[in-house]
Amino acid sequence: MTRSLALYFTDFFKVDPDLLREHGAFNVSLLSDIPLFVDPFLLFNSSRTEYQELHANILRYMAFLRDKASGEMPRDAVLKSWFVFKEVKQTWLGFSRIGNRGSGLGLKFARSLVTNMDIFFETSVARDKHLEKLCLIEDGVGRDNISDFTTNLIKEYLLRFTEDFAVKHISTQLRRTVPIERARFNYDTESWQTIDVVLPYTRGDYVILTPVDILTKDETWISRSDLIDEFANIVSAMPGDELRAQLNNYLTKALPKKTRGKDPTKKEYRDAVVATIRAFPTVLDYYVRQKEDDGDNAELASAQKVADAEAHFVQHVLRIVTALQQNTTFYADGDSAEKRLATLLAVTKQRGGASLLRDPSGSAYRREVVLELVLKLIWQAVAIDSNSAIPPFPIQCKLAQNAKFPAAIENRDGRFIATIVVAYSQSDSKEAKRSLEKIGRGNDATVVVVDAW
């Protein structure tokens, strides 16, 4: 008799996935982060009053920080009190390579907030202020930082959203009242407060649910990569011949001299655009206004991205787990990572087995981290009533089309017992094997080229 396996929130807390869907929450895995992020633009652009209020509360806290940061850079102690936040790991969102532990928002992020306060509050063209502007100009501030910051500032809402579901649908044995630090900011005392919340609780920690309609994947609606891609169009749409000429002239001069008359590399163009924006930050406001005007497409795009994430990391994974459980000894192999790996590789060689290493549409994976996460979720599924530790994922995943994979194998750390190199064409397979021969790994039993065409 096979035992029920747990991968997702509804498995661990024994609730119907349809109930969670009706509540509007994403069914996160409690084995590893799912690469989704909170996009504050979805709060701003929502027709729901509660979301608009959350966005207004974010702006209120930013105004508080601006007042505290006026003048000289605040001392580290002050930054840690008001500007620094831990990652809210209990949402199980983001892209942590191990479990659900990210780095959080440290002093570097705090200092970038202070440095760019004036840019953040500049709204001569845009209809409102947007937290995402911080990632448009500052190196090292990305979607994960913006998502973490937003999550911290709307944490009380997420806690109440989760509590509502827990009280209605989760048994008393699987929930408990938890004191949550830094859940609410008191502007009278200028301090963060602790509140008690009834939350789902398992394996020594609580879980926080997140509404599907504020999540996105890959990039937030307002993003640095989009700004750079659209820079030429943004400039051409800006009013005033003189300003446009200044921007284009500055961009040309910012490019390396050797590129004059030639097409610059992507990095050269990106660096020149960033330099131009730093010199003319008003470009940011015009870009943000364009994104505001096109805001209705933000919800459509994000909904499609979230559906794609569910297809990849929930439905596709569940199909594979079910097949492995019913047709192999994969989960019966227990703690033997070597036996599990042998079973996994054997399945890929069977008729139709290559689908294990392809995405839900049957296409080749283009990103190693996505393939690795799918395999990690499959590997780490645990018996639903077991309190045993979640088995670590001991396999390094590489794509044969990545010419740099041999270097990654050479630098493989000790937590990996093997590397699988997935080839989606015969030519990629041959080239991968030649590359392994070159580095003396052609006969290494811990490196396996897997044909998935």
Predicted TM-score (pTM) of the model is 0.91
Asked which of 69-73, 97-101, 193-197 is least confident by mean pLDDT, the reply is: 97-101
How does the average pLDDT of the chain come out, rounded? 90
pLDDT in tens, 166-189: 999 999 999 999 999 999 999 999
Residues 308-352 pLDDT 10s: 999 999 999 999 999 999 999 999 877 789 999 999 999 998 988
* Token duo for residue 84: 């620094």
Q: How do residues 21-45 score in pLDDT, each as one tens digit?
A: 999 999 999 999 999 999 999 999 9
Looking at the predicted structure, is the pLDDT value of residue 1 above 50? no
C-beta atoms surrounding 97 within 10 Å = 13
Q: Within a 13 Å sphere around the CA of 226, how many CA atoms are in the beta-carbon half?
A: 17
Beta bridge partners, 184, equal 193
In which region does residue 182 sit, left (phi positive, over 0), alpha (psi from -120 to 50) or beta (all else)? left
Confidence (pLDDT) at 101: 56
Output helix, strand, coil percentages for the chain, rounded to the nearest 5. 55, 15, 35
pLDDT of residue 218: 87
Q: What is the pLDDT of residue 351?
A: 83
Residue 225 CB contacts under 8 Å (≥ 6 apart), including other chains: 219
Residue 99, pLDDT above cutoff 60: no
Closest CA to 41 of 148, 129, 103, 136: 129
2, pLDDT greater than 70: no
Residue 261 CA to residue 252 CA, distance in Å, equals 10
What letter would DSSP give residue 127? Answer: S
Q: Please tell me the distance from the alpha carbon of residue 334 to that of residue 31, in angstroms, as a whole number.
A: 17
Task: Write phi, then psi, for 398 (nearest 5 degrees).
Answer: -135, 150
Burial class (CB in 10 A: 0-12, 13-18, 19+), 296: exposed
d(CA 311, CA 302): 14
For 340-387, how does the pLDDT look when each residue is reduced to its tens digit (9 = 90+)?
999 999 999 898 888 899 999 999 999 999 999 999 999 999 888 777
Does residue 99 or residue 453 have the better pLDDT? 453
The two three-digit tokens of residue 140, written as one number: 């090292």
User: With the C-alpha atoms ordered 435, 441, 447, 449, is the resulting torsion angle positive or negative?
Assistant: positive
Cβ-based neighbour number of residue 369 at 10 Å = 12
